[in-house]
Structure 1
């Protein structure tokens, strides 16, 4: 990529708060991630007390998931969060498992080799300053430097793993969102899945991670350096 194009996309990212990049992963790499996720989903054994549905409403989530302990303590684990209406009154699935999930989080980047390889790939590393970036969480480019000087030094990276008319970009592409941009994903009411692997990268140099953040590093899983 030439210097002029590089400067244009960096300015766009800083001004608009997001950037769409095609071709971060190949279709084959996306297939491999989806296949592994299908295996994880098929093998999942969900404890009865965790068979609750995920909600983005804070108060509702606290009520449904026992003061949110299942969610709050998931930062160093791989746990399952479900859509509404996927269990009967006995906690049994009433839809296929692969259609029941809202998301799986938050440590795929640490414990699943395929997702770890994507997260720490050179194509992701090149967007940051060496040795100063850390991966905060995951739920699943080249020649772009997007180091931020703002008050929140964080990049959200969403990798598109399946075609959807609701997404920007193409399969294998990525949407980068600035850490200061408030963003949300509305409920998927279509018949098509919206498979995305997302992870967050923070600047660690001269940065203090707020103890008020719900996600905290643990002894079992400190935030790993991106350059590992």
Structure 2
């Protein structure tokens, strides 16, 4: 193990809540209030809005993002976004003639998937953040954690799409995914806050995962109690096997959030070659914790 013995950022109670055999094994998520200060949260929020302003709709393929089984994302714009910063539209933001139904700043579902690598503001919070490294060490969840996809999810007013219940454990074998979800604005039951099914990582098997399909595109491969609303800067840790969802945003307010996933690296876990997101030689997954003479990890092990 590469983890230190003492705690650096989390309290013993927080670690116990996440790890203990009773409460933590039942819940397997953890809210850390005020993980980011106001200045840090404002920096991410401001940069998110700048990216929306910089978005050029004229040369965009109008790729929408949906989690529907029947209408999934499958074009090259999405599949090749693992080492880029790209924009994905809300389903209801484009009419039948291919025109936006609202201003471009209110049409984007999310921006991803290499913000943590390519954008200095998001990189600072994800890969250059000593608090983030301390949380990774305190949890003792991974041996050698790396970061993969990162996103700003906007939940646009009135059209912010619902995300049905799902889990995130399909990346590696054995499952090692851990979600880091940071509220950039206050989340409520009206604007699409997260909900969890406590204990679902123990009782609900992983039945499908989002993969690249043979012949191109993406698809779902099928396999044999709302919580306190997060405030700005709160970090929610989500065990990869816990069912979670968010409802449609029916309010007049946005709900910006920044999220990325952390997984273990070889030889502790194998990254599946069928996962829709794949590292590239130019941009392998970056280590969260420092390792002698190494800063990145190739998952082809």
Same fold (TM over 0.5): yes
> Runs (4+) of structure 1 moved beyond 4 Å?
none
Are the structure 2 counterparts of residues 9 and 100 from structure 1 closer, same or farther at C-alpha, using a change threshold of 3 Å?
Answer: same
Tell me if structure 2 keeps the 8 A contact 1:61–1:68: no
Query: What residue in structure 2 maps to residue 186 of structure 1?
Result: 247
Contact 1:48–1:91, Cα closer than 8 Å, also in 2: no
* Whole-Å separation in 2 of the counterparts to 1:214 and 1:151: 18
C-alpha displacement of 1:117: 0.8
- Does residue 117 of structure 2 align to residue 94 of structure 1? no
Structure 1 residue 5: Cα displacement: 5.5
Q: Deviations over 1:183-214 (max 9, x none)?
A: 33232222111110000001114211011211
Matched, 1:138 2:150: yes
Alignment of 1:192-211 (within 5 A): 192-205=253-266, 206-211=268-273
Tell me which residue corresponds to 2:161: none
Q: In the alignment, which residue of structure 1 is the partner of 2:49?
A: 38
| 8 Å contact from structure 2 (residues 63, 78) kept in 1 | no
1:73 to 76, 80, 88: 80
Cα contact 2:57–2:104 (8 A) shared by 1:
no
1:84-104 CA-to-partner distances (Å, cap 9, x unmatched) read 232345534331222111111
| Alignment pair present for 1:10 and 2:19 | yes
Deviation of the 1:49 alpha carbon: 5.9
Deviations, residues 131-173 of structure 1 (Å, cap 9, x unaligned): 7110011005xxxxxxxxx931121010000012234322100
- Please state if 1:220 is matched with 2:229: no
Q: Secondary structure at the match of 2:72?
A: helix
Q: CA contact under 8 A between 1:131 and 1:225: conserved in structure 2?
A: no
Secondary structure of 2:270's aligned partner: coil
C-alpha distance in structure 2 between counterparts of 1:200 and 1:112, whole Å: 17
Cα distance 1:122–1:50, how it changes in 2: closer, same or farther (>3 A)? same
The answer to whether the Cα contact below 8 Å between 1:158 and 1:197 also exists between their aligned partners in 2 is yes
Q: Which has the larger share of strand?
A: 2
2:30–2:238 Cα contact (<8 Å) kept: yes
In structure 2, C-alpha distance between the alignment counterparts of 1:60 and 1:128, rounded to whole Å: 35
Unaligned runs of 5+ in 1: 141-149
**1:68, distance to aligned residue in structure 2 (A):** 2.8
Report the secondary structure of 2:276's partner residue. coil
How many equivalent pairs are there? 215
Question: What is the alpha-carbon distance in structure 2 between the residues aligned to residue 160 and residue 52 of structure 1?
Answer: 25
Q: 1:111 to 1:92 in 2, by over 3 A?
A: same
TM-score by length of 1: 0.84
Unaligned runs of 5+ in 2: 1-9, 153-172, 194-228, 290-294, 296-301
Q: In the alignment, is the contact (CA less than 8 A) between 1:79 and 1:105 conserved in 2? A: yes
Could you say what secondary structure the match of 1:156 adopts?
Answer: strand
Alpha-carbon RMSD across the aligned residues, in angstroms, is 2.3
In 1, Cα distance between equivalents of 2:12 and 2:35: 20
